[in-house]
Structure 1
Amino acid sequence: MPVPNVLLSGIVGSTAYGLAHEGSDVDRLGLFAAATERLHGLRPPKESHVSTAPDRTLHEAAKWCRLALGGNPTAMELVWLPDELYEVRTELGDELIGIRTSFLSAKRVRDAYLGYATQQFRRLESRGDGSFSADTRRRTAKHARHLKRLCHQGLELYTTGRLTLRVENPQEYHEFGERVATDPTAALPLLRFYENAFGEARAALPQRPDETAVEAWLHRVRAHFYAPGARAAGRRGSGRSVHLPYR
């Protein structure tokens, strides 16, 4: 079922990183605005819609903002895509791209990117000595590539305030993935290197995100999708008003 009011949507994941190969899924991420009136009812609208064929995740605007303010690497990709990877780009979506640095803060970016990279390493570590099925080996190599990418992109964002999604040398990432698929512990030196690099680097990001700018954008979204006619329709046919005293 189509999701209305999509503000921004594009192709993310391995295609955006330049790491896709034959058979890779094409992942899409976007955000939409719920009708403002629906946010005030007994049953709030769904905050996320996830589908397959095509693989697409859409978050409601407020949820996406919360994820991005928390430094979520997957959510953050959406506002740093190359122009050619956007499939839906509205005026409000462009405004969001324009305030993308407002979501950034040093501690949240460091904790989120290193945290996700560490999760990837734990997955690798749990797979033992590499003596597993071909399918598990492929997934292990994929997790290793993500670990390396998260570390590199996170440090770039932390030290420059900018995020480049497409990696410079895809072959290097694929070779790293194959090494780690053979020996998962081969990922540990890279993780330790980036932990030290984050610790020694000077952050280019503020201590706190600019929530005022984010809130102002979200208010513009709510105003845009507010239909005052719906409220008037709710009063139609009610006759004259009767004011009862509070008891």
Structure 2
Amino acid sequence: MTMPQRRPRPRYRGRRFDLRATAMSFGLLATALIITGSAVRALAGVAQRRPVWAVVLLCVVVALLLAHGRRRRRLSAARIARTAGEALEQATTTALDALEAPAPAPAPARTADPVRATLRADDYDALTPEEFEEAIAALCIRDGCSQVRVVGGAGDLGADVLAVAPDGRRLVIQCKRYGDDNKVGSQDMQRFGGTCFAVHEADVALVVTTGEFTTPAEEYAEQCGIVCVARDTLTAWSEGLGPRPWAADTRAPGTP
């Protein structure tokens, strides 16, 4: 009599580890995180510059989330559309109200201290960045500039001192109170170059520092027509031994 033999149970074979697929998954995840971070950063910049559109966008996102949540509950498409439309209408109303509201008053400009115009160049090292801005404004007043304002601070878009030269040209000055081991780089210069003429409508744009400029920064400034006032030039200006920084026209050829 033969005994029935039991069929062996198939062993469970787990999925083999695929290094290539895992690496691709991590790569896609990293790419998604980078894109998401960039989008969030861009939206944060837009929200700072255009708070009205930030409110509109937020309301639209809320409407979409509500629509998605209710769709999962198997609500009718008509009700979802009506909810989204109501949210969008509310966002539009909020945006219109914000546009009609008066704009907030800008922060008052600081005044220059005339005493700081008598400082020697070495004395600037003991000043705070705000006091250095006031000292440069005082030099402008000493040398005949009018409508001198110290406007440096949050949201200044690179302009620390605004003034009108004796010949009527508009001066836009960025002040960098740096130490000997810290130079004004090309990135600093590029940020200022992107706003001094297009936004602040400068006739003469100057970057004044207690330190020095890197070679790429000087090359960029020469291309854009920005006046670089390094420590030696600042010393000559402050002590009355050199020309006023705005005396030379350094705008690039063909620049209006």
TM-score (norm 1): 0.23
TM-score (norm 2): 0.23
Query: By percentage of residues, which structure has more helix?
Result: 1
Bigger radius of gyration: 2
Q: Between the two structures, name the one with larger relative contact order (CA 8 Å, sep ≥ 6).
A: 1
